[in-house]
Amino acid sequence: MDEGSRAQAFAVRVPASSANLGPGFDAIGLALDLYVRATVQPALDFSVSFKAGRSVPTNAGFENEIVRGMERVLGAGVRPRIAILVDNAIPLGKGLGASAAGAALGISIGAELAAQRPSFDDLALYVCAIEGHPDNALPALVGGVVVAAMRADDRPAFLRFDPPPGLRAVVAVPHLVLPTAAARALLPHAYDRADVVFNLQRAALLAASLASGDLRALREASADRVHQPYRAPLVPGFDEMLRFEMPGLEAVALSGAGPSVIALVSGNAAAIGEAMRGAFAREGIESDVYPLAIARGGAEVERLSA
């Protein structure tokens, strides 16, 4: 197969994502209106390069995710004769699904170049297998809000729906590092039954609240006893944010494994964002605040004119 010889230039964009959302550990996530974009052009040789910007990778990890996604579709070691230019706006290593977006980007590129386009079910399986967490992987692929379940390498079972009208996100990204592997290592190997029941109740309520658009129970639905209490000491300021009571504030949670914090809001986004920035500042931590829509679209491909 000589994918590069028949490739037409195209562009791909994939959204960031926020997973867990409190009690929805490895099960509930949503796409955010913050993107990694790439243009793909025929070339003499395969290459991946990055536009300058604040979220340019400092190591090969993000590029490797793109290549892994492409190889999952085209085959191990396949290097089409294309030049991929990546413009990334997703903060890396901050709990905003950058690795999932990279995998979805690579899979989307591979699907455009494949002799036979994979089915949607195959694409969903590929991105989950690479990322390992369906609550990040699937929002990157399909957008919106996703509730998912997955066993090992089985195809994921999931429901995707549009976000409730008027619900937006405010994400505070602190200038500190909390690798996902380190954050997972903090979690216990066993839990008390009371904590398991607590989370089951609230994860079900969270999914129902987001699916129905009835936000009255969203604050209680975002409470968690499985992962946030163990990770909170490594995210100074997060405990203060959990206690916020402000107009328009519907929920506060770690984004993914952290260290970013996401607030789901129905209004007052600017003031809520400044309050989150202030909570970090009181701990001596600088942060960037992103007021964001919840993205309805997932990975999207656009053919470019010759």
Of 130 and 58, the one with more pLDDT: 130
- Which CATH class, in words, describes the domain spanning 168-293? alpha beta
Average pLDDT, the chain: 94
The single-letter DSSP state of residue 294 is B
Q: What is the mean pLDDT of residues 250-267?
A: 97
Q: Has residue 1 got a pLDDT over 50?
A: no
Q: What's the confidence (pLDDT) of residue 306?
A: 63
- How far, rounded to the nearest angstrom, does the alpha carbon of residue 194 sit from its chain's CA centroid? 29
Q: Which pLDDT does position 266 carry in this prediction? A: 98
The answer, yes or no, to whether residue 200 has pLDDT greater than 90, is yes
- Phi then psi for residue 80, to 5 deg, are -60, 155
3-state secondary structure 82-130: EEEEEEECCCCCCCCCHHHHHHHHHHHHHHHHCCCCCCHHHHHHHHHHH
Predicted TM-score of the model (pTM):
0.94
- Find the farthest-apart pair of alpha carbons in the chain and give their distance in angstroms, rounded: 61
Name the burial class of residue 249, with classes exposed (0-12), middle (13-18) and buried (19+) by CB atoms within 10 angstroms of its CB: buried
In the CATH hierarchy, which top-level class contains the domain 3-162+295-303? alpha beta
Q: What is the 3-state secondary structure (H, E, C) of 205-254?
A: HHHHHHHHCCCCCHHHHCCCCCCHHHHHHHCCCHHHHHCCCCCCEEEEEE
Where do the structural domains in the chain lie, given as residue ranges? 3-162+295-303, 168-293
Q: What is the mean pLDDT of residues 145-172?
A: 94
pLDDT of 7 reads: 62
Per-residue pLDDT, averaged over 111-130, amounts to: 96
